[in-house]
Amino acid sequence: MERAILIVEDDEDLREMLVESLEDEGYRAVGAADAQQALKLAERRKFDLVVTDVRMGGMDGLDCLAELRRRQPGVRSIVITGYASDDAPTRALRQQASDYLYKPFTLDDLLLSVGRAFQVEQETARSQSLLARLVSGYRSVMEAASAALASRQLSGMEQDRAQVFCSYYVGVRSRKLGMHEALALWDRLEGLEAARQELKGAKFQLKEGQSLAEGYRYVLQLLEAFSRGAPPVTAQREPGRVSRQRFAEFYRKILQGEFPPAQLQLAPFLRRLSMIQLSQSPELLELYRSIWGDPRSDGAATS
């Protein structure tokens, strides 16, 4: 089934070029010159993805996106802009944008971003299946997640978790999270992920799940505060956290879009795998390298 994409862009030449290029790739693309036209189009048809500029006459692209998401809650989005606005990345985070691209970008950059937006579920399932097959400890993580999703009270925890990782990805891609802020948030995320990994399927407890949910929501609050320019609190880092050298490479890979956002959720678990575990499968080793680089340099455990 063809995916429907709405391009909201006031530059006519760019809008037409993007529509034609996406149609050449097999998508059903349509363009809107402003927010009013975009909202009228959304009254008549459902879209799978919105690609929107920020600065336009009248309602801007992010307010338009908010209204589109109210009308079509499941729609994905990519924000494009030629301006380093102070508040646009923060507003994009609130709208759960899938990606954030600065102009000028190449057509390949956009097509890659569009493909990633549509492949989140498939890529997550593929990577999780690989880990569950090759790493016994990951099966308990998936069991715990399944137990959480099966609970009406705790299903929001997994949704909050997914939003945290998506917002983190966009925060780095939009350059609103500098490396120092991103590292402070990542340390917190790794702590939450380690606690989540301890949960064991049927033994999943409501109290533990609620505590984790509060932790993920707090990271979201910090992420938004950092994106507005609030400085991170300087604190002593706990032993076992990712080295600054390895994190710098990880940060660069996110910034350059070298791996899909779906794989970001696997990064904390992958980093803790030993060389023995990684050597069990070329696929597993390649997945690690795509996110963290060479495991022999300073990161993977040796036992």
Q: Which of 148 and 5 is assigned the larger pLDDT?
A: 5
- In the chain, how long is the greatest CA-to-CA distance? 60
Eight-class DSSP state of 31: E
C-alpha closest to that of 161 among 127, 129, 195, 130: 195
What the chain holds in terms of domains, given with CATH numbers, is 4-118 (3.40.50.2300), 120-292 (no CATH)
The answer on pLDDT for 227 being more than 90 is no
Model confidence pLDDT, tens digit, residues 186-208? 999 999 998 887 765 445 566 77
- Note whether 94 and 224 are within 8 A (CB): yes
CA 22 remoteness from chain centre = 22
199, amino acid identity: L
**What gap in Å lies between CA 164 and CA 223, rounded to an integer?**
8
How deeply is 143 buried, as exposed, middle or buried, from its count of CB atoms within 10 A (0-12, 13-18, 19+)?
A: middle
Model confidence pLDDT, tens digit, residues 39-59? 999 999 999 999 999 999 889
Peptide bond into 104 cis (omega under 30): yes
Residue 96 makes CB contacts below 8 A (sequence gap 6+) with 69, 77, 163, 166, 167
Mean pLDDT, to the nearest integer, of 120-145? Answer: 64
Mean pLDDT, to the nearest integer, of 156-167? Answer: 86
